[in-house]
Chains A and B, each alone.
Chain A
Amino acid sequence: MEKEQLRERLASAAGMPKDVTMKAAVITVLGNFEACIENYRGITEYTECLIRIQTKGGQIRFTGRHLQVEYYTNDEMKITGRIETIEFTHKEGRE
């Protein structure tokens, strides 16, 4: 945990983008019908009303209706449908 904090400080001191240094997920949301996600580890659950995505810092939950994964590659995925909420769940034991 110490190491992690140190890295965070270093990164902010150096002015480096955090998606590179800390592998933070990048989510680009377009209206409420499209979301592009980068820097993730994988899908943990996928139904028409819930998509859970595992990232380094925790999970991201997309809830909505008629959710669909347009494409899914190692670097990027795109979700379409009607997005209602985006939630971030942190890893247990952190903070």
Chain B
Amino acid sequence: MIRSFIRYLRGYVKIRAEGFSPERFLNICSSHQILIWGLRPVPKGYEMYMSVRDFRRLKPIAKKTRTKIVLDGRYGFPFFLFRYRKRRVFFIGAFLCVALLKAYSLFIWDIHFEGNDRWPDETLSEYLRSEGVSPLMLKSAVDCPGIVKSIRKEYNDIVWVSASVDGSRLKIQIKENEDVLLGEDAEVSEKKTPTDLIASSDGVITSIVTRSGVPQVHVGDRVEKGDILVLGRVDVADDSGEVTGYQYQRSDADIFADTTLEYRDEMSLTYEEKVYDGKKKYEPYIRLGKFTISVGSISNKYEHSEILSKERQLKAGENFYLPVSLGIKTARSYALEEKTYSQDRTRELLSRNFRRFCDDLAEKGIHIRENDVKIHLYADSAVASGTLFLNERITEEADTEILTIERKETDESVGTDD
């Protein structure tokens, strides 16, 4: 395959050797290291192929063996060029092709990210754009160590970055820090203002686990919203039991209480449903920057209609968005029809809503002890209402009141006279 391609590139000829002893001609050719292929006997001689360069060396051999050489055909790229030498546009096109390829290869066309989980490609490429790194920039202007440094500086949880130019693509490999807890701990320790824990709602305390601060309530106590549960101020008393000062700290405790929550969900039994009658109008368009070229129109005389737009921005490669968007607007005609839910359906809808509400609570870690929610059906509406008995964490942070103690200190300053 490669051999025949090289032959084509260099050009080869088909010749016919005729004469007294064409075999002798062949043997002398081979002893002169002339490569012959496709040898075929014809009446009075042989046909064969050889390269153009070898053909030029044939003259003395032909003379010596008194062989007549007839050129039967010319093949290959040099002859192809010669045959079409007058087709200027073709050559200009070929030259342009090569020149454009070279020119295009001078630019970065795509940015590829690898190993990023927490930071999406869009965010990273947006950041790089703000740093002046974007598709269509000159390849020679890419500063890989600079990109690495700026990404490391901007994103704390990216622990390793590598940037490399791979053809016309900028490849950025990232390793993110998987240890999330570290960051959270650092955040907590920053906060040092003393805080109390107060009740976020009314309820009866069921359990207290205090880690820091002074608990102000006991299990079984009834608290109201806003009551202090844990005080962040610790009294410092002297031997006689008199408070001489305070120490402040951030309160931390798990306090659970039984609380109640009113639930009410009302829905109308009648509703309007859209019935599409199949009438549609389309308006496909192309958006180039600010200009929009569209075909057709969606302006209509439908009584009720909804307009649907779909748009897709074209991109070359992975992260190189072209300023061209394709889209289509669709107007759909519909009629409104009034309908009524059946009793079963109403029950189903209300209980589904309630179930979702309960699931949401459970997701927040709130335990539902009991509920007496009931569904009442009326002539044109339905109501689900009742009370939920919950057990939940009721702590809420609030700043501790800073108290000062007025000390009766004896004035012991001594005046000095000069």
B36 surroundings in chain A (CB, below 8 A): 69, 71-73
Cα A70 to Cα B33 in complex, Å, equals 16
Is the Cβ of B39 less than 8 Å from the Cβ of A73? no
Q: Are A74 and B33 in contact (CB under 8 A)?
A: yes
Does residue A19 face the partner (Cβ distance < 8 Å to B)? no
* CB–CB B35/A73 < 8 A: yes
Residues B30 and A72 in contact, CB atoms below 8 Å apart: yes
Identify which of A8-16, A41-49, A55-63, A87-95 touches chain B.
A41-49
A-B pairs with CB below 8 Å: how many?
Answer: 48
Residues B37 and A70 in contact, CB atoms below 8 Å apart: yes
User: Contact at B30–A74, with CB atoms within 8 Å?
Assistant: yes
Within the complex, which residue of B30, B41, B46, B48 is in contact with A73, where a contact is CB–CB below 8 Å?
B30
How far is B30's CA from A82's CA once the two chains are assembled, in angstroms? 24
Interface string of A2-24 (1 = CB under 8 A from B): 00000000000000000000000
A92 and B36 alpha carbons, distance in the complex (Å): 31
Known contacts: A70-B37, A71-B35. The answer to whether A46 contacts B23 by CB under 8 A is: yes
Instruction: Please give me the residue from chain A that is nearest to B30 by CB atom.
Output: A74
Decide if B30 touches A48 in the complex (CB within 8 Å).
no
* Beta-carbon contact of B39 and A69 below 8 Å: yes
For residue A74, which residues in chain B have a CB less than 8 angstroms away from its CB?
30-31, 33
Known: A71-B36, A72-B36, A73-B35. A46 touches B27 (CB 8 A): no
Least CB distance, A70 to chain B, in whole angstroms: 6
The CA of A25 and the CA of B41, in the complex, are separated in Å by 23
Contact of A68 among B26, B27, B40 (CB under 8 A): B40
Q: Is there contact, CB below 8 Å, between A71 and B37?
A: yes
Known: A71-B35, A72-B36, A73-B35. A46 touches B30 (CB 8 A): no
- A70 to B24: give the CA distance in the assembly, Å: 18
Q: Is the CB of A47 within 8 A of B30?
A: no
Given known pairs A48-B41, A68-B40, the reply for A73 and B33 (CB within 8 Å) is yes
Q: Which chain A residues border B31 with CB–CB below 8 Å?
A: 42, 74
Interchain CB contact (< 8 A) of B30 among A42, A44, A68, A70: A42
Taking residues whose C-beta sits less than 8 angstroms from the other chain, chain B's interface range is: 10 to 19
**A70–B38 CB distance below 8 A:** yes
Contacts of A69 in B (CB 8 A): 36, 39-40
**Across the interface, do B41 and A46 meet the contact criterion of CB distance under 8 Å?**
yes
CA distance A70 to B3 in the complex (A): 14
Contact A42 B27 (CB under 8 A): yes
Task: Give the shortest distance, in Å, between B49 (CB) and chain A (any CB).
Answer: 9
Interface string of B65-93 (1 = CB under 8 A from A): 00000000000000000000000000000
Output the least CB separation between A71 and chain B (Å).
4
| A47 contact set on B, CB distance < 8 A | 41
A46 contacts B39, C-beta separation under 8 Å? yes
Q: How far is the CA of A34 from the CA of B35 in the complex (A)?
A: 19
Chain A residues positioned under 8 Å from B26 (CB to CB): 42-43, 46, 72
CB distance from B23 to the nearest CB of A (A): 5
Q: Mark A64-84, 1 if CB is under 8 A from B, else 0.
A: 000011111110000000000
B23 in contact with A42 (CB, 8 Å): yes
Q: How far is the CB of A46 from chain B (nearest CB, A)?
A: 5
B40 with A43: CB separation less than 8 A: no
Q: Is the CB of A68 within 8 A of B39?
A: yes
A46-B46, A47-B41, A48-B41 known; A41 vs B35 contact (CB < 8 Å): no
Cα distance A74–B32 when bound, in Å? 8
Query: Given the complex, which residues of B lie within 8 Å of A42, measured CB to CB?
Result: 23-24, 26-27, 30-31
In the bound complex, what is the Cα–Cα distance between A85 and B117 (angstroms)? 72
Q: How far is the CA of A68 from the CA of B40 in the complex (A)?
A: 6
Contact A72 B37 (CB under 8 A): yes
- Residue in chain A with minimal CB distance to B23: A43
B21 nearest in chain A by CB position:
A44
Closest 6 CB pairs of A and B: A42-B27, A69-B39, A71-B37, A72-B36, A74-B30, A47-B41
Sampled A-B contacts (20; CB under 8 Å): A42-B23, A42-B27, A42-B31, A43-B23, A43-B26, A44-B23, A46-B26, A46-B39, A69-B40, A70-B38, A70-B39, A71-B35, A71-B37, A71-B38, A72-B26, A72-B29, A72-B37, A72-B39, A73-B36, A74-B31
B interface residues (Cβ-Cβ under 8 A, vs A): 23-24, 26-27, 29-31, 33, 35-41, 46, 48
Instruction: Contacts A42-B23, A69-B36, A73-B33 known; list 18 others, CB within 8 Å.
Output: A42-B26, A42-B27, A43-B23, A43-B27, A46-B23, A46-B26, A46-B39, A46-B41, A47-B41, A48-B41, A68-B38, A70-B38, A71-B39, A72-B35, A72-B36, A72-B39, A73-B35, A74-B33
